[in-house]
């Protein structure tokens, strides 16, 4: 942390960035929020709009637009800049366009003297997090993507409805690519301290594996349905970013399914950034929690890693 003042810089004031900023203001997550955008006038207007609502909040946050020099003493730089996903477009199709955008952002942040933590939300988030790692030269623990945090929240919400229990008592994760190859390792899912497979076994006439797989499909397709209905997703991911920022600024050691760099886990997988439970603290990605997956689940994770590696290798990254 850069002292007692919690400072966050947001790069990109589109719908995702501003959903984060609005949620951050209402949750009083930091002391100072600086907004950077290629369209400086827009950033100025967004800062004004948020400041005019301060009187109605419990926050005393300082909000203003600025330049990359503001990153020098920031704790976190949140990157939401990039092209939007179109209704018929996969997250991976966004890749080359957003890699070009990041080539104009990350070096400027580093050149400011920034020594904090990068938090990436731009899609395809796992590869864009890896791009940030390559462009920055930072230790991998200081480069985090939002990963499958929102997917995991969606999963727990739907499982809470299905089992008629508070979602906070559902301990299940979506891991892998934040995209079409993501999956739920059901072998690791718990209702409180009881494995879901045991809940299913004890209630064979109430709960069915086919219905759990439908929930998994609903989680995987949620973004496409939202984009089809309203053009973009932003509220949920905005709140996910706030959750990760809070875990970092408050040194919570919280377990979140962020996108992190594998270092030999799951049979020796390295370099790829992928959504997986990780302890998040003031130092960033403190420790990856390697799950004990079944053979079938390991195959699904391998598929995710292969997709992400293959697409990353197709990139042309200019530093």
Residues tagged active-site:
178
Give me 6's structure tokens: 């919690």
Helix axes 125-136, 295-313, angle to 10 degrees: 60
> DSSP letters along 57-80, please?
SS---EEEE--GGGGGG-SEEEE-
Contacts of 5 by beta carbon, 8 Å cutoff, 6+ apart: 31, 32
> For residues 30 and 7, is the Cβ–Cβ distance under 8 A?
yes
> For residues 205 and 302, is the Cβ–Cβ distance under 8 A?
no
Residue linked to tokens 């993507």: 145
Give me 241's structure tokens: 């970013």
Signed CA dihedral, 228, 230, 234, 237: sign only = negative
Round to whole Å and give the CA distance between 80 and 16: 6
For residue 10, give Cα distances in angstroms to 20, 52, 67, 68, 105: 9, 19, 10, 10, 11
Q: What are phi and psi of 139, to 5 degrees?
A: -60, 140
Give me 301's structure tokens: 């994770």
């Amino acid at each position: 942390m850069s002292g007692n003042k919690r400072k966050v810089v947001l790069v990109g004031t589109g719908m995702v960035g501003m959903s984060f900023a609005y949620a951050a203001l209402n949750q009083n997550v930091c002391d100072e929020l600086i907004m950077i955008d290629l369209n400086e006038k827009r950033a100025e207007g967004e800062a004004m709009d948020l400041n005019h609502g301060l009187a109605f909040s419990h926050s005393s946050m300082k909000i203003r637009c600025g330049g990359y020099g503001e990153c020098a003493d920031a704790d976190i730089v949140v990157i939401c800049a990039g092209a939007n996903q179109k209704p018929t477009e996969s997250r991976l199709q966004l890749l080359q366009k957003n890699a070009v955008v990041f080539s104009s952002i990350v070096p400027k942040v580093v050149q400011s003297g920034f020594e904090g933590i990068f938090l990436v939300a731009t899609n395809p988030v796992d590869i864009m997090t890896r791009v940030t790692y390559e462009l920055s030269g930072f230790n991998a623990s200081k480069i985090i993507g939002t990963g499958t945090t929102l997917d995991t929240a969606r999963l727990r919400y739907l499982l809470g409805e299905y089992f008629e229990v508070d979602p906070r008592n559902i301990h299940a994760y979506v891991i892998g690519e934040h995209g079409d190859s993501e999956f739920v390792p059901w072998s690791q899912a718990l209702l409180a301290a009881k494995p879901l497979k045991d809940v299913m076994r004890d209630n064979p006439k109430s709960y069915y594996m086919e219905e759990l797989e439908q929930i998994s499909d609903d989680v995987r397709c949620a973004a496409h349905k939202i984009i089809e209905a309203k053009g973009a997703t932003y509220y949920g991911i905005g709140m996910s970013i706030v959750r990760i920022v809070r875990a970092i600024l408050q040194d919570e050691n919280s377990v979140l399914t962020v996108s992190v760099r594998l270092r030999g886990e799951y049979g020796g997988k390295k370099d790829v950034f992928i959504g997986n439970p990780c302890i998040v603290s003031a130092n960033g990605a403190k420790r990856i929690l390697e799950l004990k997956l079944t053979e079938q689940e390991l195959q699904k994770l391998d598929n995710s890693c292969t997709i992400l590696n293959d697409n990353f290798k197709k990139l042309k990254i200019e530093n």
